[in-house]
Amino acid sequence: MKSSIRTFALAAFAAATITSVHSASAQHIYARATSAEYTLPAGGGLVTINALDVSSAGTYVIGGQQAFVFTPSTAQTVLLCYTANTAGSVLPDGAYSMITVPPGSSYITVPLNGYFVTTGATEILVNCRYYGSTNALSGVGTITAIN
C-alpha cells in the first residue's frame, strides 16, 4: 500500500511540474540605427547624434555604439556620448561613455551601454561632445532599449 501511495504522489508531482504554466512579463524592444553624418565642432561642441522613441514608462536597458572619424591629433583628447531626454542637454539622464582618444587616432567607437528611466513615453537622445582641436564626424551608430 505504501508503495502505491508513494508512486501516486510522485506521479502527481511529476504531472504538476510538467504541465505547470510559466509566464513572463511582456518586454518592449526598441532599436534605431543611423548613418547620418554630424559634425561635432572642435573644443567641446555638443550634437545630438541619434534618437529613439519609447512608448511607455519604465526602466530601459540601453545598448549600442557610435562610430566617429576625425583628423589625427598630436595631443590626447576626450570624446563622450550619453543618453538624455533633451537635445543638447549637458547632463546625462542614462547611459554614459567617455573615451580618451590617443594621439594619432583617426577612428573611434563609443559604446552606449547602461540604463534609462522614464515616467512615460519619451524620446531617448544620444548626445555627443568632442574636445579635440579639429572637428569630428559621426558615422554609423545604433541604440537599443529594452524594458
Domain ranges within the chain, ordered by starting residue:
26-146
Quick: pLDDT tens for 128-144: 999 988 889 999 999 99
Quick: pLDDT tens for 79-99: 999 999 888 777 788 888 999
Predicted pLDDT of residue 71? 84
On whether the CB atoms of residues 147 and 58 are closer than 8 A, the answer is yes
Comparing CA positions, the residue from 116, 141, 138 lying closest to residue 28 is 116
- The residue that leads in pLDDT, 27 or 147, is 147
Whether 13 shows a pLDDT value over 60: the answer reads no
DSSP code, position 11: H
Which region holds residue 114: left if phi is over 0, alpha if psi is between -120 and 50, else beta? left
Quick: pLDDT tens for 34-51: 998 999 998 888 999 999
Predicted pLDDT of residue 20? 47
Q: Which three-class secondary structure state does DSSP give residue 3?
A: helix
- The residue that leads in pLDDT, 19 or 105, is 105
Whether 17 shows a pLDDT value over 80: the answer reads no
Predicted pLDDT of residue 7? 55
Q: Which three-class secondary structure state does DSSP give residue 22?
A: coil
Q: Is the dihedral of CA 102, 103, 104, 106 positive or negative?
A: positive
Distance, in Å, from the CA atom of 111 to the CA atom of 130, rounded to the nearest integer, reads 15
* Whole-structure pTM value: 0.78
Quick: pLDDT tens for 61-73: 999 999 999 888 8
Comparing CA positions, the residue from 100, 101, 97 lying closest to residue 110 is 97
Confidence class of residue 5 from pLDDT cuts 50, 70 and 90? Answer: low
26-146: CATH homologous superfamily? icosahedral virus (2.60.120.660)
On whether the CB atoms of residues 110 and 50 are closer than 8 A, the answer is no
Distance, in Å, from the CA atom of 143 to the CA atom of 114, rounded to the nearest integer, reads 11
